[in-house]
Amino acid sequence: MMIPQKALSRRTVLRGAGAAFALPLLDAMIPSMKATAATPAAAEHLRRIGYIYIPMGFNPAQWIPQGDTLETLSPSLMPLDSVKDQVTVVTGMDLQNAYPGSHATSNAAFLSAARAKRTESTDYRLGTTVDQIAAKQIGHQTTLPSLELSMDLLSTVGQCDNGYACVYQNNLSWSSPTTPLPSEAHPRIVFETLFGDGGTPEQRQAVLKKRASLLDSVTDEIKRLKKAVGPSDRNKIDGYLESVREVERRISKAEQSAKDNPLPDLDRPVGVPAQYADHARLMFDLQLLAFQGDITRVVSFQLAREASTRTYPEIGVPDPHHPITHHGNDPEKLEKIAKVNRFHISLFAEFLEKLKATPEAGGSLLDHTLYLYGSGMGDSDAHDHTNLPIVVAGGAAGNMRGGRHIRYETPTPLANLHLTLLNKVGVPLDSFADSDGTVEDLFDPVSL
């Protein structure tokens, strides 16, 4: 198609009553995306970074690949098969500053690699997390500097774990050593954070009664925009807005289901899907929309909470998660841990498949995104913080070489990996926390 002389701004939005929709990257925006001295080319190639946390470690026997490639995936990682060409498994990484071992320090150190101050009061102190370091550098380019998500919304306070305040367990992201950032688990609130229409629950309910979808209020603007762009861009706009409509439909369905259910719900916010997997998929889809619309470029997501007693009967694990992780080498408990590990990975794999299927800038959304998935705990029975389960996905536009297993024979700081990923998304640092180098094998050497 012929690109107009004056390209559309990447920040073009569709505005309606209580709604503001950012658009996906269109061909008509390409000229305005050329690199400048203020926007290095590497930062354009890898535009986004996400972090996903799983609690209470893993069963290494069913997780760690046998060889140096992912030609044959381990049982826990098998769901990644369709995207393994853009996945690298890293083993042998540790978090020395998470000791003495606890659930609180596992969660707190995962993105900070810092030592949490041991306190049960409000004089807590940790360190700025990598997602917020990224947000300070690239967050100003988007509506939201970062997005903090979770699956459990708990307001526990005081002492939660071995003398550590609950704040360490509740919050994955910290914008400063003394400023934890609360996460959001309710899909409707996240949706409205991304697209507008805030207010009290009563106000939102009144708005929902007046219209079927947020998109209804921008229909005329959509029509005008589609006349100004080519066929390829029109298809992208249609696909993106249909995804927005589908996510909103699923949220509304979940809210109606919760409203019709007379039983109290003590484990999750009212209005989220009844099934864990449905809730997780919805939260992943909201991340996809946020990235596709360039609403944010930095996301953290607590897929489950440390010391969680959630059960997973849908995969044959009716036992609470936390007790089975104190396995004492019991084969039955270890098998259940592996099932939970695989279940969590399967949800991540579905998300990666959607990113891979979403076109952007001559490649896919996955090509231009990096995700770090893992835990701050290794052996949950010992509460140790070495040999962590770590997966890195995406990043082909930055020459990340997937399909591999990188293993360290001696414990290596997770901070090295954090430093490497920050550098790749245009946040140049010489060091981070207790880093002593970078993970040089993760990317093609020509791109470093």
Domain 50-185+300-447: give its CATH architecture.
3-Layer(aba) Sandwich (3.40)
Say if residues 372 and 390 touch (Cβ distance below 8 Å): yes
Percent of the chain with pLDDT over 90: 63
**CA angle, 366 as apex, 360 and 371 as ends, to 5°?**
140
Q: Which residues pair with 392 in a beta bridge?
A: 88, 372
**CA angle, 410 as apex, 408 and 414 as ends, to 5°?**
65
How far does CA 65 lie from the centroid of its chain?
A: 23
pLDDT tens profile 116-150: 999 988 899 999 999 999 999 999 889 899 999 99
pLDDT tens profile 77-99: 999 999 999 999 999 999 999 99
Q: What does the domain layout of the chain look like in residue ranges?
A: 1-34+190-271, 50-185+300-447
Q: Can you give the pLDDT at residue 36?
A: 42
Task: DSSP for 45-83, please give it.
Answer: HS-EEEEEE--S---HHHHS-SSSBSSS--GGGGGGGGG
pTM: 0.85
Q: Can you give the pLDDT at residue 209?
A: 52
pLDDT tens profile 194-251: 887 655 556 555 555 544 566 776 777 888 888 888 887 888 788 888 878 788 778 8
What percentage of the chain's residues is helix, strand, coil (to nearest 5)? 45, 15, 40
Q: What is the mean pLDDT of the chain?
A: 86
